[in-house]
Amino acid sequence: MANVIKKLSDELINKISAGEVVVSPASVIKELVENSIDAGADHIKIKIENGGKTKILVSDNGIGIKSDEMGLAFNKNATSKIDSLDKLSSIDTLGFRGEALFSISVVSKVKIRSKYKDENIGTSATVINGKVQNIKNLALNTGTRIEVEDLFYNTPARRKHMKSAKAEKTASLDIISKLAIANPSIAFSVYSDNKEVFVTLGDNNIRNVVSVILGHEFVSKMIEVDYDDEPLTVKGFTLSPNYLDRQNEESIFIINGRYVKNDTLNKVINNIYREQYGLFTKRISYVLYIRLPYNFTDVNIHPAKTSISFRNETLINMLICEGVRSALRESINLNDNVIGERKKKENPLENQIAFEESSSYVVGDKDISIVSYNEEIKIEKKEIGEDNINEEASKSDIINTDYIASYDKYSEPTYFNESSSTSYTSFDDNLIQDIPIINPTENNLSLNRNEEVPKEQKNIVDRSIFDKIINMHFVGTAFKAYAIFESGETLYVMDTHASHERVLYDKYLSEFKKHRVKTQILVSPLVLELSVIHKDICLNHLKLLKSLGYEIEDFAGNNVIIREIPEMLSLEDTKEVILNLLASLKDTSMLTNEINRNERLIKNACHHAVRGHDDISKEEAIKLLNDLKLSDNPFSCPHSRPTISKIKKKYFEKMFQRI
């Protein structure tokens, strides 16, 4: 039978439209708090139970709702924010669509009490399925109190897909935190399961509210931004260049009092730092408050109202850039002895790489595909003197680009076989020669980067090269990061940091899987200040952190106390490692694959636990090679960077124009 077109019932229409506005407890909280802000409240109290799945309560001291408008407030598309088409192009309130209260009441049980500022008596009501019931008058203080219970009780499909109470709580606290940061003149009191989470003063001091939410240490890493150029002002904080190498988490834009997400603005800010300080992998932290005429923005893009578009976006981006650049310039002038020493990092991939056709060779009875290509390097003829010798040396930086090509092509772990007669190079004349890479996919090794090599396939990895290197002449270390061995006309270079990370990762992962992570008890426990969200994530994952070797307890305010850490970790690295673990948990908390999540956490912990930039002796280098030889994948670190490469004598002869 053919489908028949028919008009949907009002009830079904309402529940479908409510799904665009109300998607989780966090979205309910956002809508209710924005209503309180629009009502002129200077104190807002928020309470949630069971992550907001069971109960959400928002109360304020705003102007309240008139008693004769209580029923109208829950009608679809009823609002006090706009009343004409003209105002839609210049919205100066957080809400304006008239959908929030109606949508919430359609999928939950609502109780409301409110007293309008100019009335002597207040009003209470209950709202079920969008219908206002039991309207009563009672004595109340000015303001509004809304209680939302049993979210999605009448939409089983939506209720089933809600996340765990812990995850919903974290999401709710995240949106509340951003609302509090966006409104420093409003005092927020936030409670979860009858326990205070945070309280802000409402003193209109940006530094104070950011310190409460993100921590005093976060603010200590920032430089202040205060820029005014009509029609735009930019205030707030952006990351000090002294902390580019640290874990940075929060990137927050507040535009006209509204927290928004805008990928273009994020890229703009990050590009400013890249222009000034070169390549780095960390995300830039900032909290920026931007004010511009309301008719320069359009927030009527999505019901969630967190996306925004600009009129004359190029001008707005340019002015925001100039505001951040101005703050960075002033910071350099004030801290020239520190920041002035930071040099722009070079991009090691600036040289053009020209790929050639794939070729193949045989390992055992398997045909292995490899990629060969040439790297064009231009060496400018110039007399070398004391003034420019460093400049010339920097132009001849050696990079192992063969590995880069293999990862781009296969995105798999790399294996090499030193005994193979075939190799591929970065130069036509074999100036730099990498050890050949076997493509696992061509050899039926369908492995993810985090998966172990099955025992029956471990013979693919030829470890004889390690015994050969150990017996070579040890030249020394370069840049406190590379151990160099010499054999005939070839130098073998080991990245000590990557190698140590691989050894540490294998050991740590093995202990974790056996539930035997070795730990050390801190004589003096470490007190660590976290952001509101990171503390919530930490307390939600105490059992997992314990299995990783961290004994952590709740402490006052935004602090936790650390009593035990993994044996491999030094006390001075603990803080950075914990922050990275929590950041990883925030990113992976929704993953269903627990194994991948845990291995990612271990990988990140090992990366930050490795001590870099230290010279190592010959004995230490040989021990590291021996340890590396025992790894399932000794030729790359857990993040797939190579551990060993080799350079031929002819490279130096060509560099110095001897041939």
Do 226 and 247 have their domain in common? yes
Is position 385 within any domain?
Answer: no
Q: pLDDT of 518-527, one tens digit each?
A: 999 999 999 9
pLDDT over threshold 60, residue 342: no
CATH of the domain at 408: 3.30.1540.20
Task: Report pLDDT digits (tens) over 443-492.
Answer: 333 334 444 444 444 445 678 888 889 999 999 999 888 999 999 899 99
* 3-state DSSP assignment of residue 286: strand
The enclosing domain of 190 has a CATH number of 3.30.565.10
166 & 301 share domain: no
- Domain assignment present for residue 481? The answer is yes
Domain count of the chain? 4
CA angle, 598 as apex, 218 and 552 as ends, to 5°? 50
Instruction: State which amino acid sits at residue 655.
Output: M
- What's the rounded Cα separation, in Å, for the pair 353 and 214? 43
* Helix, strand, coil % in the chain, rounded to nearest 5: 40, 25, 35
What would the DSSP string read from start to end of 133-173?
A: EEEEEE---SEEEEEEESTTTT-HHHHHT---HHHHHHHHH
297 within domain boundaries = yes
Mean pLDDT of 321-332: 86
Give the pLDDT confidence score for residue 591 in this predicted structure: 54
The pLDDT score that the predictor gives to residue 460 is 55
**What backbone torsions phi and psi does residue 197 show, to the nearest 5 degrees?**
-100, -55
Residues 333 and 359 in one domain: no
Inside any domain, residue 511: no
Task: Supply the pLDDT for residue 247.
Answer: 63
pLDDT band for position 212 (cuts 50, 70, 90): very high
User: Does residue 3 form part of some domain?
Assistant: no
Asked whether residue 73 falls in the same domain as residue 170, the answer is yes
Which stretches does DSSP call E strand in 488-617? 490-495, 519-529, 551-554, 559-566
Same domain, 177 and 228: no
Q: What is the CA radius of gyration of the chain?
A: 30
Flag whether pLDDT at 414 surpasses 70: no
Q: Whose structure tokens read 């009003």?
A: 123
Residues 407, 499, single domain; the answer is yes
Q: Do 85 and 195 fall within a single domain?
A: yes
For residues 230 and 228, give the distance between their C-alpha atoms in angstroms, rounded to a whole number.
Answer: 7
How much of the chain, in percent, has pLDDT values that exceed 90?
33
State the chain's mean pLDDT as an integer: 76
Q: Is 268 found in the same domain as 230?
A: yes
In this structure, the number of other CB atoms found within 10 A of the CB of residue 86 comes to 8
Q: Does residue 117 lie in a domain region?
A: yes
What letter does residue 109 receive in the DSSP assignment?
Answer: E
Buried b (16+ CB within 10 A) or exposed e, 107-143: bbbbebbbbbeebeebbbbbbeebebeeeeeeebebb
What CA–CA distance (Å, rounded) separates 85 from 427?
66
Pairing of strands 143-149, 109-115: antiparallel
CATH of residue 561's domain is 3.30.1370.100
Q: What percent of the chain has pLDDT over 70?
A: 68
Residue 329 resides in a domain: yes
pLDDT at position 90 is: 54
Contact partners, residue 499, CB within 8 Å, separation at least 6: 624, 625, 628, 637, 643, 644
CATH (domain of 243): 3.30.230.10
Same domain flag for 603 and 617: no
Helices within 58-132 (DSSP H only):
70-73, 100-106
Note whether 529 and 623 are same-domain residues: no
Question: Closest Cα to residue 143, out of 186, 94, 109, 97?
Answer: 186
Whether 187 and 63 share a structural domain: yes
Query: Where does 90-232 have alpha helices with state H?
Result: 100-106, 156-160, 165-182, 206-214, 216-220
The pTM of the full predicted model, rounded to 2 decimals, is 0.69
Residue pair 490/646 in contact by the 8 Å Cβ criterion:
yes
**Which of 103-112, 123-132, 531-540, 582-591 is predicted with the least confidence, judged by mean pLDDT?**
582-591
**To which H or E segment does residue 233 belong?**
strand 232-239
- pLDDT, residue 242, reads 84
| Predicted confidence (pLDDT) per residue in 120-157, tens digit | 999 999 998 888 899 999 999 999 999 999 999 888 88
pLDDT at 148: 95
Domain-embedded: residue 265: yes
Shared domain for 177 and 270, answered yes or no, is no
Is-contact 516 650, C-beta < 8 A? no
363-397 per-position pLDDT tens digit: 334 343 333 333 333 333 333 333 433 333 333 33
Its domain, for residue 550, covers 519-567+571-609
